[in-house]
Chains A and B, each alone.
Chain A
């Protein structure tokens, strides 16, 4: 259950970024990029995030998790390919000398905020 640690870190990092912004009411959503090599349970992460964000401006924010496929480039023949399983071998020439270019990241990409002077969600505002 390393999702608890990840949730803790997400809350800490976003909270830190919030310090420089004036008049934040709450965080609406947080975009994450998770490479396929990471064995991550989104349900567990959601659950832990709810626990860790309680009582902070992040409470109630939605986690948008984008899974990134494993993509590699062969150092020998230059072939760029997506890995199906977890065998790190070039499908064209069979070389094991491949470099993973995507799919190992674990990133907080961005987050959306609602400001004090905003009336909640954009959608609600348009309707009123």
Chain B
């Protein structure tokens, strides 16, 4: 006997992600899901962003790591509302899911926050499959990683709204061709917004901040 189901495998996750998105929108918080390989500079970019915008805006960060609370400690030093998720005890999951984010949201002090960063687990494959309830998906790719990554991990670049090319200050020392990277990324996702940045020197961070501010304005309906 055959029984028709026709359900998305990840339906439960998607429903919860939609609820997270709605909940955060009602609170006026722009939720930004930062995804990348390990070591591409997600934490440094968030730090730089908080440094630049910290006077006028309040930030929260959810840190996803398999082990350690090192990133959370970095964020807490900046006075950011921080929540650490360690997936190690639960099988070492390589990505965050909407349910984990919900649990974090229940614990965090969210009142007055303007931005919530989710620093996903360093991995270009799995996080792309799981909607966490963000309003903006950002993939960070650092210049040493090479220009072929969008073609190797297409789903990651399809689900992202923006790509930050980090460590742009290293270009003189690398064979990396930024134009080819741009072409590959836009080939996979023509709507992708691309910004070249260096968390170290601060290059391009203003353009990134402009994007964050305009996305937040769109989200809360230009109230401010």
Residues of chain A whose beta carbon lies under 8 Å from any beta carbon of chain B: 1-2, 4-6, 9-10, 12-14, 17, 21, 32, 37-39, 85-89, 96-97, 105-115
Contact = CB atoms under 8 A, between A and B. Distances in A.
B190 interface: yes
What band does the interface of chain B fall in when counting residues whose beta carbon is under 8 Å from A?
A: 20 to 34
B190 A96 contact: yes
A interface secondary structure, majority: mixed
Nearest to A95: B190
Interface of B: 1-13, 91, 93-95, 97, 125-126, 129-130, 150-151, 153-155, 158, 186-190
22 contacts: A1-B126, A2-B95, A2-B130, A5-B10, A5-B95, A6-B129, A9-B12, A21-B3, A37-B158, A39-B153, A88-B190, A96-B186, A106-B10, A107-B8, A108-B8, A109-B4, A110-B4, A110-B5, A111-B2, A111-B3, A112-B1, A112-B2
* A-B pairs with lowest CB-CB distance, top 5: A96-B190, A86-B154, A2-B126, A87-B187, A108-B5
Contacts, number: 97
A113 B190 CA distance: 44
A21 B3 CA distance: 10
Nearest to A85: B151
Contacts of B154: 37, 86
Contacts of A21: 3
B interface secondary structure, majority: mixed
Contacts of B153: 39
Given A2-B129, A4-B93, 7 more contacts: A5-B10, A5-B95, A13-B5, A88-B190, A97-B190, A105-B8, A107-B7
